[in-house]
Amino acid sequence: MTGQITVHVLDTARGRGASGVGLLLIRIDGDTRKVLGRDQTNEDGRTDAPLLSGSALHAGIYEVIFDIGAWSGATSDFYDLIPIRFRINDPSEHYHVPLLLAPFGYTTYRGS
């Protein structure tokens, strides 16, 4: 199995995937932050392809920043950007980062 990073954004208030959420994938090395890619969720709340996979995936610290403010389109919503920082120890594994959204809270975990 080739290692990869994938995401899934769920809108728990509506009971479905959050379509159209913009996101950034960043690799962090000390004080250096490098944007590796930008993407947007599809109708199911996932990206059409892994954010990173294969030989491009290395051990280290990564961050996915979800642009919830732009997705919600309402200035009165509570969250703007939601960053999730995580460590990759074994680049051959699948790292799935789900984000479950609620109006005034969110949850994340390492998925499968």
CB atoms within 10 A of CB 110: 11
Domains of the chain listed by start with CATH number: 4-108 (2.60.40.180)
Q: Mind listing the pLDDT tens digit for each residue in 25-57?
A: 999 999 999 999 999 999 999 999 999 999 999
Q: Mind listing the pLDDT tens digit for each residue in 72-111?
A: 875 556 888 999 999 999 999 999 999 999 888 999 999 9
Burial (Cβ within 10 Å: 0-12, 13-18, ≥19) of residue 99: buried
Whether pTM > 0.75 for this model: the answer is yes
Q: Give residue 4's pLDDT band: very low, low, confident or very high (50, 70, 90).
A: very high
DSSP string, 11-29: ETTTTEE-TT-EEEEEEEE
> What is the C-alpha to C-alpha distance for residues 55 and 3, in angstroms, rounded to an integer?
8
